[in-house]
Structure 1
Amino acid sequence: MNQALPMPSATATDQGWRLALPAIVLTLLIIVVLFRDTALAMADIWLRSDTYAHGFIVPPISLWLIWRMRASLAALAPRHSYSAIVLFAAAGFAWLLGQLAAVNVVSQFALVTMLVLAVPTVLGWQFARRIAFPLLFLFFAVPFGDFAMPTLMDWTAHFTILGLRASGIPVHAEGLRFVIPSGSWSVVEACSGVRYLIASVTVGTLFAYLTYRSLTRRLVFVGVSFVVPVVANWLRAYMIVMIGHLSGNKLAGGVDHLIYGWVFFGIVILAMFWIGARWREDELDQGVPAPAVQASTAVPTTTVPSLLAAVCTVLVGGGYVFALWQIEHRLAPEVSQIVPLGPISGWQASAAPTDEWQPKYQDYAARTQATFEKDGRTVGLFIAFYRNQDHQHKMVSSTNVLLHSDDPLWVRVGSGTREMVFDNRDLRVRTAVLSGPLSTRMAVWQWYWVDGRWTASDPLAKIYTALSRLGGRGDDSAVIVLHAVEQRPGDSDAVLEDFARTAGPAIESALRQTMGAR
């Protein structure tokens, strides 16, 4: 004989919510206050970047989605979950690593994750599962997506060039720049279409959730919202170049260039939603009633554990903030110059000019730039040293690059990686080929030094920086760039490898001595 389980009374559930609701609201507010620097950094990006301005409306949309479900949510008995605190602590540690490595996006994703996990901590996993989409939608508030910009720019340039050639227009292309009979064009950041992609995916995901009930249809529409803006941006770029070409460059230049782009994108997105709405799935049209809210099968106990879970959540978050404060107050003395390089066997310092091209690195603590010569070949060396990095002054960032896409003299026409032996160890370096004035071609190699470790990977450089700071060794780092003008296609790689192998010990020694000057 089965024994019926006791059902919570409405009075017991209401009593639980009287304390649980203020507890979760207060917990979320305290988390935002504790991590206010990260939250304000997100808001600052929303304010100054049109690409991420939608971040202002993401939290209100999430709250509205939860409000729509208030009747079914009220029938659930709030229950704390200490297991969620473990996940909350992991998210807090990720936030700490993001702060130590000065990676904004990691810290911001970690903050949103902590806000999301605070809900099951105080109210329970059953409640969190019921509002899973509104909680996950909060991640669209994180300014994320710039990493895709170079790839999207390459795709846009390739498609535009293919379209022009298919239209019978001769094209001479070098990297992201191309010349047609009516003039020259260049694909820059604004042409990448990343803002179209982010806007489409954000709105498309919300549309899919509100319009469909089937998980398959939702996923398909979200996938379409990824593909459509990318293809639409290719067509937009091709159309703008064609309009400029056919009008003698009287149209599709300046402000109307952007206006045409947004108008075309708006038409495409509206068409996508209009077509998607034809397969909408309203609850009343599915032929079956909506599933009834299944009440909890256990009588809610005292709310003291929920309040204790809320207190534990706040204490864990506060612990990470205090840990960061402790680490950030261990600042090393400022460094003004890099220790001079020792002798490099076979290579002589040259008086040749070093300003024909310079890497676009800034906010460094010290810099060395020199030219060396051997057997009639010249190699340029650039080293930028970083210490006491933060979110405004850091080595690895989107603004520290070899070359800006809008550089008036130089253009990147190739890139890749190369294995070499440096300072008696294997190292993979990043390579690039630049084209400059008078058809000059330059080979460029670049990699990082972080706390005695060598890498050409941006993520690894960030990880090494965070681990070094956690270990109390500071964040001393440097970027090393070698460059040489090509006399014959591909001949500069051998010259750069010879110099790197020979100069490795001298560069290593100079950086270690600079790090030791505290």
Structure 2
Amino acid sequence: MSAIPADLRLASPWRSALPAVVALVVAIALIYRDTLMAMVDVWSRSDTFAHGWVVAPISLWLVWRQRERLAALTPKPAPWVLLPMGVLALAWFAADLVVVNAPAQFAFVGLLILAVPAVLGVEVARAILFPLLFLLFAVPFGEFTVQPMMEWTADFVVLALQWTGVPVYRTGLHFVIPSGSWSVIDECSGVRYLMASFMVGSLFAYLNYRSYKKRAVFMAFSLVVPVVANWLRAYMIVMLGHLSGNRIAVGVDHILYGWVFFGIVIFVMFVVGMRWADPDEPPAGAPAPGLGAAASQAATQRALAVLAGAAIVALAPHAALWGLQASERAQAAPQLQLPASFAAWNAVEAPAIGWSPHFVNPSLAVTRSYSGPAGTVTAHVFYYRAQNAERKLVNSLNGLVSHNERQWTVKRPGTVTVDLGGQAVTLRSAEVVGPERGSAVPREHLVVWHGYWVDGRFLVGDLQAKLAGAASRLRGHGDDGAVIVLQAAEATPEASTAALQAFAREALGELAAALERTQAQR
């Protein structure tokens, strides 16, 4: 029996392509491990995003279901995909530079997705497009919707109570009915129901519909249903408590009833969706023909070349960031001392007020009160240095009150302008109102101004502060930034505003100088 020539021996084209794409995915995960671990940390501590743990296993299972279809395809590396991978790597660098988690995490997951067409080709990626895009559900995204969804829930519950004849008095996210008081907090926003519904709804649409139009309609349906269902759930909880004398639907029952109701809603949504389900796809064709030894070797070389190029693209922004961080690593802890006086304003003992701004995990927090001809003003400075996922100047958790605050309410948000020697400085303004203390004791009523300070500039917008922080780091000035909060509680809001205006004109310049000295002490 004669031997078969080497160039006629056939090898599966997947023999080299599959290890190459696995190696690239692992390499990207290791290079971006800090971003990956930040995602894992959120999955572990947040009920809203706990579904992140099952996203990757579901995606792999969906790919496995397509194994016969994939076997009929021939993997062909697409080097041009390195260009969009480079764009995503730059996006990750920009997001990490300003410590914005979600865009950095989307960029990381995007790199994992593009690894498939880069090594296996566009045709293969198209065959498993949904399983690849399903990985985007692993990104903990959507916290910005918490506040508006809390507002919508409170609006609906109050309106529904009025429609059903229950007297209700509302203040912000708090409302009182004859049987007791209720508050709409983070857990009542419905974000967790929205995230879960959209993920399982998208999976249901992919598995049961062949039409892209049907899939899109059902996915949109899975976004609308949990929002409306959460409104009904909140109203149901309040009414059950009201009609039972607050014996049911309170405490732990509140959460339990909510999930039971949500489970029923999802079941009904699936029952409705099954009425338009499409038949399964026909079986795939025959496996792709094998390659000769020479062709197989050439395919392996192409896959390895793309793998190396993609690894370099993924590593490049890290090299730049590591160089930038090396110059910031030896920064000392910030030291800030507010002056004892500003012109006619002299330091006094802080007035007894049960409110303080809610800015989490600053590197340094300093508070001092001043008395002057126009009244008393308290200045809070929250200073941030060496910012990271837990400590950052612009944070969705930061604000005048926390999301779970049940006593203090923020009203009339807006902006004000202060003239500092011909330079106009814009600050945010609001009124912060305390809890009811009975008819004989008036509610505390504060006027509050606040704004960011970054690299010598006062800024009012979150995006402005982020961009200014990135520019400061690139110029070698570090990532230092601060929030300045000024509060006054005079007899009337007008008097408080006048006190803040007078204090800001005389004190903001010296406050900025003190912050610049602190930044220079890096």
Q: Same fold (TM over 0.5)?
A: yes
CA deviation map 1:185-209 (0-9, x unaligned): 1111111111000000111111111
Which residue, out of 472, 477, 484, partners 1:468?
A: 472
Residue 402 in structure 1 maps to residue 406 in structure 2: no
Equivalent pair of 1:156/1:237 in contact (CA under 8 Å): yes
Shift of 1:25: 0.6
Shift of 1:235: 0.7
1:134 counterpart residue number: 131
Residue 43 in structure 1 maps to residue 43 in structure 2: no
Shift of 1:225: 0.8
Residue 412 in structure 1 maps to residue 416 in structure 2: no
Which residue, out of 211, 225, 234, partners 1:237?
A: 234
Aligned partner of residue 484 in structure 2, secondary structure: strand
Shift of 1:174: 0.7
Shift of 1:492: 3.4
Equivalent pair of 2:233/2:261 in contact (CA under 8 Å): yes
1:361 counterpart residue number: 359
2:434 counterpart residue number: 436
Equivalent pair of 2:16/2:299 in contact (CA under 8 Å): no
Equivalent pair of 2:205/2:219 in contact (CA under 8 Å): yes
CA deviation map 1:15-47 (0-9, x unaligned): 432111110011101111222222122122212
Aligned partner of residue 51 in structure 2, secondary structure: helix
1:177 counterpart residue number: 174
1:382 counterpart residue number: 380
Equivalent pair of 1:448/1:456 in contact (CA under 8 Å): yes
| Separation (CA, whole Å) in 2 of partners of 1:188 and 1:211 | 36
Query: How many residues are paired up?
Result: 503
Aligned partner of residue 486 in structure 2, secondary structure: strand
Equivalent pair of 2:13/2:74 in contact (CA under 8 Å): yes
Shift of 1:422: 5.4
Aligned partner of residue 86 in structure 1, secondary structure: helix
2:458 counterpart residue number: 454
2:21 counterpart residue number: 24
1:209 counterpart residue number: 206
Report the TM-score when normalising by structure 2: 0.89
2:491 counterpart residue number: 487
Aligned partner of residue 429 in structure 1, secondary structure: strand
Shift of 1:226: 0.9
Equivalent pair of 1:447/1:456 in contact (CA under 8 Å): yes
CA deviation map 1:345-365 (0-9, x unaligned): 443433342654211224222
2:5 counterpart residue number: none
Aligned partner of residue 385 in structure 1, secondary structure: strand
Equivalent pair of 2:161/2:167 in contact (CA under 8 Å): yes
Residue 200 in structure 1 maps to residue 204 in structure 2: no
1:159 counterpart residue number: 156
Alignment CA distance shift 1:84-1:348 (3 Å) = same
% identical aligned pairs: 45
Structure 1 unaligned regions, length at least 5: 1-9
CA deviation map 1:406-446 (0-9, x unaligned): 335x3224253314145454454333322115411112222
1:510 counterpart residue number: 514
Residue 225 of structure 2 aligns to which amino acid in structure 1? V
Bigger mean CA deviation after superposition, 423-432 or 118-127: 423-432
Residue 396 of structure 1 aligns to which amino acid in structure 2? V
CA deviation map 1:57-110 (0-9, x unaligned): 111111111122222222222222222112112212222233332222222111
Bigger mean CA deviation after superposition, 382-391 or 249-258: 382-391
| Separation (CA, whole Å) in 1 of partners of 2:412 and 2:58 | 42
Shift of 1:472: 2.1
Match runs of 1:93-108 below 5 Å: 93-108=90-105
| Separation (CA, whole Å) in 1 of partners of 2:231 and 2:484 | 36
Aligned partner of residue 143 in structure 1, secondary structure: coil
| Separation (CA, whole Å) in 1 of partners of 2:425 and 2:62 | 51
Shift of 1:302: 3.7
Moved over 6 A (4+): 289-296
Aligned partner of residue 270 in structure 1, secondary structure: helix
Equivalent pair of 1:56/1:141 in contact (CA under 8 Å): yes
Bigger mean CA deviation after superposition, 412-421 or 302-311: 412-421
Which residue, out of 331, 334, 345, partners 1:333?
A: 331
Shift of 1:295: 8.5
1:223 counterpart residue number: 220
CA deviation map 1:198-234 (0-9, x unaligned): 0001111111111112222111111111111111111
Shift of 1:456: 2.5
Equivalent pair of 1:354/1:369 in contact (CA under 8 Å): no
| Separation (CA, whole Å) in 2 of partners of 1:334 and 1:356 | 33
| Separation (CA, whole Å) in 2 of partners of 1:72 and 1:393 | 47
| Separation (CA, whole Å) in 2 of partners of 1:375 and 1:294 | 87
| Separation (CA, whole Å) in 2 of partners of 1:19 and 1:182 | 70
Residue 434 of structure 1 aligns to which amino acid in structure 2? V
Report the TM-score when normalising by structure 1: 0.90
Aligned partner of residue 389 in structure 2, secondary structure: coil
Shift of 1:475: 0.5
Which residue, out of 82, 86, 108, partners 1:85?
A: 82
Aligned partner of residue 398 in structure 1, secondary structure: coil
| Separation (CA, whole Å) in 2 of partners of 1:105 and 1:277 | 34
1:63 counterpart residue number: 60
Equivalent pair of 2:400/2:410 in contact (CA under 8 Å): no
Shift of 1:314: 1.2
2:110 counterpart residue number: 113
1:4 counterpart residue number: none
Residue 362 of structure 2 aligns to which amino acid in structure 1? Y
| Separation (CA, whole Å) in 1 of partners of 2:276 and 2:166 | 41
Alignment CA distance shift 1:353-1:124 (3 Å) = same
1:7 counterpart residue number: none
CA deviation map 1:160-192 (0-9, x unaligned): 111111111111111011111111111111111
| Separation (CA, whole Å) in 1 of partners of 2:403 and 2:136 | 29
Aligned partner of residue 430 in structure 2, secondary structure: strand
Shift of 1:371: 1.9
Shift of 1:376: 4.3
Alignment CA distance shift 1:79-1:11 (3 Å) = farther
Equivalent pair of 1:178/1:185 in contact (CA under 8 Å): yes
1:344 counterpart residue number: 342
Shift of 1:272: 0.9
Aligned partner of residue 50 in structure 2, secondary structure: helix
CA deviation map 1:343-389 (0-9, x unaligned): 53443433342654211224222232122333342222111111112
| Separation (CA, whole Å) in 1 of partners of 2:34 and 2:116 | 22
Alignment CA distance shift 1:426-1:266 (3 Å) = farther
Bigger mean CA deviation after superposition, 330-339 or 269-278: 330-339
Shift of 1:512: 1.1
